[in-house]
Structures are given as structure tokens and as C-alpha cells.
Structure 1
Amino acid sequence: MTVSRTEPIAGDTLRIHGFAALQPGPRLIVIGGVHGDETCGTAGIERTLAELDAGALQLLRGRLTMVPVANPLARRLGRREGERNLNRLFRPSRPGDGPADYEGRITDVLCPLLAQHDVLLDLHSFQSEGEAFAMIGPRDNSGTLEPFARAFEEGQLALHLGTSRVVEGWLDIYAAGLAQRAGGRPADEAALAFGWGTNEYMRSRGGYGVTLECGQHADPAAPDVAQAAILAALRLLGMVAPVPDAPPPARPKLLRLVSVTDRQHEDDQFVREWATFDPVARGEPIGVREDGSILHAERDGFIVFPNSAALPGTEWFYFAVESERDLQRPAPPARAS
């Protein structure tokens, strides 16, 4: 199928479902299907819509918006991207410029919509095996990379989504990866902008957001994880009735991304099939480069987002360590970044 880079696809429509209670309150937006092969978020949203339409779930205050399929082209093609990754360069077109591609047309619709909300829950899944986890942004800071002042609220949302792990530090490590590929030179603004996804845009507009990775793409439990997270977010924000005598959320393990390693050659291979959050000990072999050199873990930690099919020059895997941050208490401000 040939896709034009300048003309919209006839018939492509973003389905946007809105509910407004008569009592004021938080404004939550839930998005699924940012990547076309990640269907669990769509299923979780559709189930929640059915409960709202049937009256089994009632919105008590605030405003709820749900977008089941954020990238219709990628969904129709059954692959991660339409023309490019929608969760990169998630910004509206510059004034006077038209959208550069299909995904640019989507961001021109979704960015103003996100800016009308306070909170974002973005539902995803991943390729490798592993358990569901949540991803959060930086700690409160006044730096230039991603200034932020709502880290505690964002952490509380992640804490209540029911995952056993939460991961922090995405944009810092993305920027470090760019610098690494550029021989140590800091990334320019255009390159950093490509690291912006839905959550980064939401934070830039004064809100906060959490990405929930609901499990492996084909995991039959992933839609259940997505729906449970939507309901948990609504309860936390006081938008629907709480569950009587519900226990407090379990404390998840918090991990901090500290590095990204690129695949340099198509013959670079992992020593085994890694799953997200597989633990590794310092000195343990992770992969073998094309020239036969062994890539060892520099410290105790965890493999995150291993991609054995990564193209040369792109992210092969991320590495995380345990974080000292406590999501149940406001964290001290991070250093300027």
C-alpha cells in the first residue's frame, strides 16, 4: 500500500468520546492505539465506554475524554507506525506550515485536545515478554530539558495503576543516547523534539501524564490491565465512586533508566532472549557484537525494552537500576537538566 505524505487518507477519522459531569472536577484524557499493533488500550477503552453507556459506571464530576485508536493508519496496517512513530515528535505543526506526514495530521488534532485536559493516561503494550509497568517523567525541576512541577501527582497516578514496577527517566536517557550517537555533542532542539511523546507534550502544557505498558502485545490479560487502570485513575481523581473498603495500593518497585545501548551491526546478537525487567548482575554478558566482543553489564540492574530486531544505529536495549525515590511522598527537586 502506498501512502501519500501530503494528502490525508479518505475516510480516516479519529473517534473521540467525551463525557462531562455536571459537577466540576479534573479533566482526564485516555488514549489507546498510538501504535497500531498495540490493541489492549483500545479494548480497555471500549469496555469502559460500554459501562458508561449502560449506566454501570457513572461519571460524578469532571470531564473524561477517550480516544480508542489514536493512529487509524497504523491500526489498519496492523503495524507499529503509519508513516512514522506517532509517539515521537508529538507536537502540532508550526504556524504557517502544514503537517509533514500522516502522523502530523493526527498531532494537529490531538495536541489541542490534550491541552484542554489536566491528566493523561496513555495505554500501550510491548514486544518482548514481561510484566505490565508504568512510566513517569522527571522529578520537579526548573531545568531546560523538561521543566516540571507536578511530579507527586504523576507519581500518585502511577502508584494507583496496579503494576508491580514503575520506571522513571525516559527523556534524560533519550537525550543522552542522542549525545552518545553524536560523539558526545549535546543534542540540538530538533533532535530532542523527536523524543517528545504524548506525556512530554502533556507536561509542556501544564498537565501530567503516565504511560502504562499493559504487557506483551498478545497477552490476553493486557486489555484487563488497561481497563483496570482506567477505572483506577477515575477513582483516584474522584471522578467515579470509590470501591468500599478498598486496600491501599501496593508499593511498586521503582526503577530509573540510566543508559541506552544501540545495536551497531545487524550481526550484533543477544546472548539469550531477554525479557523486559530481567535482572542482570555486574559483569554478566548481555550481547555479542559483530566483531566478537562481549557486552557486559556495568553494574547490577535490569534489562528494559530489549529489541532483538532493532535496526543498526537504533536502540537495542535500555538499562535500569533501582531508584531511591518514594512515590508515596513528594520527591526533592531534581537538579537542573
Structure 2
Amino acid sequence: MGIIEPKCFAGEQPGTRLIVLGAVHGNETCGTRAIERVTAELAGGQLRIVRGRATFVPVTNRLAYQRGTRGGDRNLNRHLAPTAAPADNEDRIANALCPLLADHDVLLDLHSFRSAGSPFVMVGPEDNAGDLQPFSQAARERALALRLGVARALDGWLDTYAAGAARRGGSAAYGVGTTEYMRAAGGCALTLECGQHEDPQAPQVAYRAILRTLAHLRLIDAPDPPPAARMEGLRLREVVDRAHPDDRFERAWTSFDPVRRGQRIGVRHDGAAVLAPFDGAVVFPDATAAPGAEWFYCAQPHPRLSR
């Protein structure tokens, strides 16, 4: 058994090379269930790839999946890069996964999240020639994001993460996961957050997104799905770290809960208030974050992704 086991289906005509990942985090299984369903339909002839190539990895991090944990030895979706001297489970996965990503044009990475909330898609940066994440396929990503069947899109991950890493004396490279690596390798990539981990609808959200992706990229003979009539676009702007074990939230936050500038989000262990820096939303709140790690992000509405 290999450390990852891709399932590949090729069409007779040239076309896009798509890769779909499930269980990059082992406790996020909706993508696994959806990929198993799609690959069974492909193997049974109910679906057929006619152009390009579709590669599916139902379980990307097998050790974490078997344990039912987010990571095996660490978070696979941080500091993703091949290494000549792999030191842990995730290094060994990266050495197999990174060349596989680079051999494709488009990545759809299927995830879920801890707290309650609606599905959303994370996209890459605007086209740019900067040093952090140069990119030239923003329009292609946006077109696919609008067709996945969700009504919220979020960008600004790596810029915001890099600013937080610099503040705590770390490296922006630690913020590189599957989608960032894919873009650096010349492709485009989306992360679809399909719902809460245990939401029975999350596998259906993932399954529907795979079919819509196959149709939009013309890998199967099916009409191009219409773009979403409405999309809420947000951009991550700031990350706030937890500094002490006794830092606590003002209340139980859920991603995309709205906040007003100056509203109290949390309280430091010494009683100092942690206030919203602007009108916007709380994103990725983590009440269990370790001291020195990301506690929550703040996002603002952004017109680039909105409809």
C-alpha cells in the first residue's frame, strides 16, 4: 500500500488535468465519501471522463484518517513541500503528493470545519507579480468557484497568514498548503469547506461540487453549471493569536458571525479586551488554540468575489 493511493480516469480526448483530494485532515471525511461515490460511478460506467484526466485521492493523510485526527504527526496543510530528508508522516506524504499536484492543472481540495456554519469556498489571490504568491489565473478560479454550489467565497489567506507569521517571528512558508503549492506549480486551486465535520449534508455538498467541476472543465459531457446568482465575497485581513491559556472568547463564535469595529471579541488573561479592528466578520475562531497560535481571523466584505 502506497502512502497515497490515487485513482485515475483518463478521457480519449485532450483536456484539463483535474485532481480532487479528500481527508487532507483525517477527521474531515466528507470529501472521502464523495470521492468514493464518484469513483464508483466512474468505475461502473454511470459517469465517463471523455476529455483530459481526473485523479482522485480519497484519503490523502491515511495515518490521521485512521486515528480520526486532524493530523498524523502535524498539520499536512501547512509547510507543504517535498524534502530530501523526511522527518515525519506528513513529510513522507508531501514527497508523494507534491509531484502529483504539479502534474495537474486544477485542484479541488475538499474539507469540513469544526463549528456550525454554511459551506464556503476559499480562492487564491488576484493576479499579481509579487514575491509572496505570484498568480495569473484568478479569473479561472473565480469562474469555477461560482459553479461549486455555495454562496460564500473567501480570499486573502496567505497574505494574512504571512503577516501573522512575521509578527511572531515565523516564516510565511508555514502557511503553504495544497492550494498554495498547486498555484506555485503553475496550476489553479480551490478549497471547498463543505460544512461542519458531522453534518450529514457535507458529503452531498462535496459530491455535487465534484460533478459541477467535471462539467465546468468539460471532462464529462454535461452542461456547464450556471454561476451562482448571488455570492458573498470576503477577504481575510487580520489574524489574532492566542497569547495565554486563559485568553477567552466573549462568546462562542461561529465563522462569519458579523462584528462591528470596536466590538469585544475576547478577553486576555489580564482582563484586556480584544476588539474587532473593523466592521466585518469573525472567521476560523478556535477556542482551543494553543498559546502562540492563531486564535481567530477577521474578514471584510470584498467586491472581487461578490455577486
Q: Does 1:62 align with 2:52?
A: yes
**Contact conserved, 1:256 with 1:320, CA < 8 A, in 2?**
yes
One-letter code of the match for 1:86?
L
Deviation at 1:74, TM superposition (A): 0.4
Partner of 1:37: 27
- Give ranges in structure 2 of 5+ residues lacking alignment: none
**Contact conserved, 1:152 with 1:327, CA < 8 A, in 2?**
no
- CA gap of 1:113–1:247, structure 2 versus 1, over 3 A, is closer
One-letter code of the match for 1:126?
F
Counterparts of 1:165-244 in structure 2, within 5 Å, are 165-182=152-169, 191-243=171-223
One-letter code of the match for 2:207?
Q
Equivalent residue in structure 2 for 1:82, among 69, 72, 77: 72
Partner of 1:287: 266
Partner of 2:136: 149
Partner of 2:90: 103
Runs of 4+ in 1 over 4 A off after TM superposition: none
Q: Does 1:134 align with 2:124?
A: no
- Give ranges in structure 1 of 5+ residues lacking alignment: 1-10, 329-337
- CA gap of 1:165–1:196, structure 2 versus 1, over 3 A, is same
TM value normalised by structure 1: 0.88
String of CA shifts for 1:137-173, please: whole Å, max 9, x gaps: 1111111001111111011111111111100010000
Partner of 1:121: 108
String of CA shifts for 1:65-99, please: whole Å, max 9, x gaps: 00000001001111001011111111111xxx321
Which shows bigger deviation, 101-110 or 22-31? 101-110
Deviation at 1:14, TM superposition (A): 1.8
Distance in 2 (alpha carbons) for counterparts of 1:129 and 1:249: 23
Distance in 1 (alpha carbons) for counterparts of 2:292 and 2:102: 34
Deviation at 1:62, TM superposition (A): 0.6
Distance in 2 (alpha carbons) for counterparts of 1:107 and 1:149: 25
Q: Does 1:267 align with 2:267?
A: no
Partner of 1:335: none
- CA gap of 1:279–1:204, structure 2 versus 1, over 3 A, is same
**Contact conserved, 1:262 with 1:316, CA < 8 A, in 2?**
yes
Distance in 1 (alpha carbons) for counterparts of 2:14 and 2:177: 28
Deviation at 1:267, TM superposition (A): 0.8
- CA gap of 1:248–1:209, structure 2 versus 1, over 3 A, is closer
Distance in 2 (alpha carbons) for counterparts of 1:250 and 1:132: 16
Distance in 1 (alpha carbons) for counterparts of 2:179 and 2:277: 30
Deviation at 1:247, TM superposition (A): 4.5
Equivalent residue in structure 2 for 1:48, among 28, 38, 41: 38
Cα RMSD for the two superposed structures: 1.4
**Contact conserved, 1:159 with 1:327, CA < 8 A, in 2?**
no
**Contact conserved, 1:214 with 1:225, CA < 8 A, in 2?**
yes
One-letter code of the match for 1:308?
A
**Contact conserved, 2:242 with 2:293, CA < 8 A, in 1?**
yes
Q: Does 1:304 align with 2:283?
A: yes
- Give the length in aligned residue pairs: 307
**Contact conserved, 1:155 with 1:327, CA < 8 A, in 2?**
no
One-letter code of the match for 2:218?
G
**Contact conserved, 1:135 with 1:210, CA < 8 A, in 2?**
yes
One-letter code of the match for 1:111?
C
Distance in 1 (alpha carbons) for counterparts of 2:227 and 2:4: 36
Deviation at 1:326, TM superposition (A): 4.5
Deviation at 1:133, TM superposition (A): 0.5
**Contact conserved, 2:244 with 2:269, CA < 8 A, in 1?**
yes
One-letter code of the match for 2:194?
C
Distance in 1 (alpha carbons) for counterparts of 2:78 and 2:22: 15
- CA gap of 1:321–1:257, structure 2 versus 1, over 3 A, is same
Deviation at 1:241, TM superposition (A): 2.3
Partner of 1:315: 294
